Structure 1
Amino acid sequence: MSLSDYRFAIENLRENGIDILGTKSATENDLKQIETRLGVTLPVSYKKMLSEYGALEFDTIEIYGWLSQGIDAKFVTNVVHATERERADGRISDTMIPFLTTGYGPFYVVDCAEMNVDGEAPVYEVSAGGYRNGKDKLADSFGEFLRNEVRRTLEARAQGGPEFDDDDEGSPPSREFISEYWKDRAKDFE
Structure 2
Amino acid sequence: MSLEASERLIELIRANAGIANHAGGEDDVSIDAAERALGVAFPPSYRRLIEEFGTWDIAGEEFLGVYRTPAYGNELLGSVKATLDLRRDHGLPAELIVVMFDGMGGAIVLDSSKADRFGEYPVFVWSHVGEPVEKLGEDFGSYALGLCERAVRQW
Distance 2:141 2:3 in 1: 6
Deviation sequence 1:98-156 (CA, Å, 0-9, x none): 011111222200111111111110000112x3343x52111111101111111221331
**Paired residue for 1:5?**
5
Describe the SS at the equivalent of 1:89.
helix
Shift of 1:88: 0.9
Distance 2:19 2:101 in 1: 20
**Paired residue for 1:182?**
none
Contact 2:59 2:152 in 1 (8 A): no
5+ long unaligned stretches in structure 2? none
Shift of 1:71: 5.1
User: What is the letter of the counterpart of residue 149 of structure 2?
Assistant: R
Distance 2:134 2:6 in 1: 21
RMSD (Å), alpha carbons: 1.9
Contact 2:124 2:137 in 1 (8 A): yes
Contact 1:18 1:59 in 2 (8 A): no
Distance 2:148 2:56 in 1: 12
Distance 1:92 1:31 in 2: 21
User: What is the letter of the counterpart of residue 140 of structure 1?
Assistant: E
**Paired residue for 2:111?**
111
Bigger proportion of residues as strand: 2
5+ long unaligned stretches in structure 1? 158-190
Describe the SS at the equivalent of 1:29.
helix
TM-score for the superposition, normalised by structure 2: 0.87
- Seq. identity, %: 26
Length, aligned pairs only: 152
**Paired residue for 2:133?**
135
Structure 1 window deviating more from structure 2 (138-147 vs 90-99): it is: 90-99
Contact 2:61 2:148 in 1 (8 A): no
The one of the two structures with greater contact order (alpha-carbon pairs below 8 A, sep at least 6) is: 2
**Larger Rg belongs to:** 1
